[in-house]
Amino acid sequence: MTTVELTRFRVRPEQVEELLAARPDMLKDFAADRAGFLGARLVRLPNDEWLDIVEWAGPEDFAVSREKGPNHPGIARFFAAIDSLVTAEEGTLAD
């Protein structure tokens, strides 16, 4: 079953352009380095909050990705634009 990573975070208004500019390279780095990475969607929410919805082939792939952290420049650049973490959850795609 597909594992879904839901990460809600805050970005300061002056960092939004950097976050969006870093996103394509982050996704390229994930695709090249993260086994089981299926794709991601970034949702802008009110009050400087964002939701990143990432799909993984399974929970093991997600766990390995978390252990790797920002190990490539594109990933590190995207993470650096984030001001604070609000929530991080893991679930299973139901449909």
Residue 95 pLDDT: 84
Which residue is associated with the tokens 């001001």?
A: 83
Written as six digits, the tokens of 21 are 């500019």
Tell me: the pLDDT tens digits for 23-81? 999 999 999 999 999 999 999 999 999 999 999 999 999 999 999 999 999 999 999 99
Tell me: the pLDDT tens digits for 21-35? 999 999 999 999 999
Q: How many other C-beta atoms are found inside a 10 Å radius of the C-beta of residue 39? A: 11
At residue 37, φ and ψ (nearest 5 deg) are: -70, 120
Contact assessment for residue 83 and residue 50, using Cβ atoms and an 8 Å cutoff:
no
Contact assessment for residue 37 and residue 65, using Cβ atoms and an 8 Å cutoff:
yes
Residue 55 pLDDT: 98
Decide if domain 3-92 falls under CATH 3.30.70.100: yes
